[in-house]
Structure 1
């Protein structure tokens, strides 16, 4: 009996998680298993993390110009096993354990971003879970074979799913030009802030401060990287005061701030904590329109930069984890089955749950 037949016989139904314009969380079951087309593979998705964007689409129905206008499947942080091959699928075989890179560019020679290697800027890119394209938070998912990354035997499906947020952090670290011994501030100790901390630690940033409004997350940050210095941000405190506390903890002004929340007040604190000629690198997703201390940044030549997803990061992420330079395992604090999706999303969206990364698993 083949691997594909064995798995499909055990779980012969499709199960998927979606939302809609009325903000329902839909747990949908179907007897129809998708069929891979040319150059595609059928994946039994074994682990999927809940991203802040998934919660945002569910709760708010939109992120910027990306709007939920009908039912749309969620999830894009996934790993699983290949259980079917379409005609022409290359690079993987049935039974391979893989991570899914979910931004699929057009890859046409006429596309300047694809041709020059900046495929995250492809105007025709298809990103799973970005409306109207369904996501990977489902039992069975069809994926292009070219955008699957084999996992080494030492890496779990949970770690494989965490390669996606790690990719976001690695892209930010690389574009921010972080160097050995650079004093660094990370604003926000959520999943992206945590993986940014792990990546910055591996890259040799020093000293490092991380901020958050939740002491539980700061405690986890100290467990992950004992040398990190933490600043608990009290809600409602003026950003300049927060910046002074950051600088005191860092022992100096920051050469680089990696902002992982997208919250306006946090961005302000990062700007006020920066040195002359410093950089505030914004990874977090926030309101579509925000105010910044324009003249303060201008008079101090502070560069404000942004990150849009990632490119060519998965092989590096796999190498860093498999070589032991980055340990992702402690980040998963809550685990649920697909059938428990409502509980999983409640935990991911409720601060009292004290979740860092919530994953849905399907054995």
Structure 2
């Protein structure tokens, strides 16, 4: 390849992202080389940048950022049959060892040897060029944009959580937090037929988007106490929810799930909060509530893509800001400082990007 420009965004240490030129990687026999197009900023990226860790994952060495991404296939390995140069793809950013019990039973997201983009010590894909496993790239339908392809990562998180909690026609759901993950849960729940989805947050601009995306009602919980919120949720819905989704990484939200959810219901933990929490488990006992963790996704990308392709889910409104890769530092600062009410910030890696959504 004649082009030598592989500008790459590297988190060198806490609060320091540097742009460096890296060699253009060569795909193995089952891999593809991608021209990276659009990479989103995730909350986990911000945690690594500001704190050097996200939950149990700790930054010890410099790491390439980025895991929500789409790109165009440039070169295929010798054994790749499913893709060809020119294909537009969304990238599932993690793959397991393919040999352990978890991988063989379809729960590869729990593989102890998982290789996941921008999760220490694995490099991410915020670069001009990137090599990854071909079978974890999914072709985008002709009616889907590259930005929508990038958003399949958070939507797959929502799909996985809804499948775990068995959301179905008529389900009543309570989503705590209306950032990209909470909004993705809302979108997936509606696509699965949920009858009513209540969303809470303390930022009005996020709640406004939740309403636009189909929330039954929203509540700004700023300044409210735990049991006060629980009572407000029940009266607003007119009943207790079948499923509650904690998407904020906050112990109060996790506790609320046990206070609010109906007997026999499910509380799903998605937010990466503290490793230890003080919980009212007595409520779980007497109401037989199932509390379950939801970690990333497995085999959920095809459903996420079909939801958007078919028009059952619209993710376009999640995108609020766009930057080129040379502006990565500014993009991260925009997220941190909440400049312009950000929801999802996109970084364009292709040096030929013309400044328009793709």
User: What are the superposed Cα offsets for residues 34-73 of structure 1, whole Å, 9 maximum, x if unpaired?
Assistant: 2212221110110011111111111111123321111011
Aligned equivalent of 2:122? 133
Aligned equivalent of 1:116? 105
Q: Is the 8 A contact 1:243 1:273 kept in 2?
A: yes
- Measure the CA separation in 1 of the matches of 2:187 and 2:54: 27
Aligned to 2:119, the other structure's residue is in SS state coil
Alignment of 1:27 onto 2:15: no
Alignment of 1:250 onto 2:237: yes
Aligned equivalent of 2:356? none
What is the CA distance between 1:27 and its match in structure 2? 2.1
Aligned equivalent of 2:5? 13
Aligned equivalent of 1:81? 72
Aligned equivalent of 2:198? 209
Aligned to 1:42, the other structure's residue is in SS state strand
- Measure the CA separation in 1 of the matches of 2:194 and 2:61: 44
- Measure the CA separation in 2 of the matches of 1:148 and 1:287: 32
Aligned residues: 350
| Selected match of 2:211 from 222, 233, 239 | 222
User: What are the superposed Cα offsets for residues 242-262 of structure 1, whole Å, 9 maximum, x if unpaired?
Assistant: 111111211111121011111
What is the CA distance between 1:132 and its match in structure 2? 0.8
| Selected match of 2:305 from 294, 302, 318 | 318
Alignment of 1:273 onto 2:264: no
TM-score by length of 2: 0.94
Q: Is the 8 A contact 1:73 1:136 kept in 2?
A: yes
Aligned equivalent of 1:344? 331
| Selected match of 2:314 from 308, 327, 340 | 327
- Measure the CA separation in 2 of the matches of 1:21 and 1:344: 17
Aligned equivalent of 2:149? 160
| Selected match of 1:95 from 71, 86, 99 | 86
TM-score by length of 1: 0.93
Aligned to 2:263, the other structure's residue is in SS state strand
Q: Say if 1:208 and 1:149 are closer, same or farther in 2 by CA, change over 3 A.
A: same
- Measure the CA separation in 1 of the matches of 2:40 and 2:212: 21
- Measure the CA separation in 1 of the matches of 2:14 and 2:194: 44
What is the CA distance between 1:170 and its match in structure 2? 0.3
* Cα-Cα RMSD: 1.5
- Measure the CA separation in 1 of the matches of 2:81 and 2:110: 25
- Measure the CA separation in 2 of the matches of 1:52 and 1:248: 31
What is the CA distance between 1:352 and its match in structure 2? 4.8
Give structure 1 stretches of 5+ with no counterpart: none
What is the CA distance between 1:234 and its match in structure 2? 0.9
Aligned to 1:275, the other structure's residue is in SS state coil
Q: Is the 8 A contact 1:20 1:68 kept in 2?
A: no
What is the CA distance between 1:22 and its match in structure 2? 3.5
Aligned equivalent of 2:221? 233
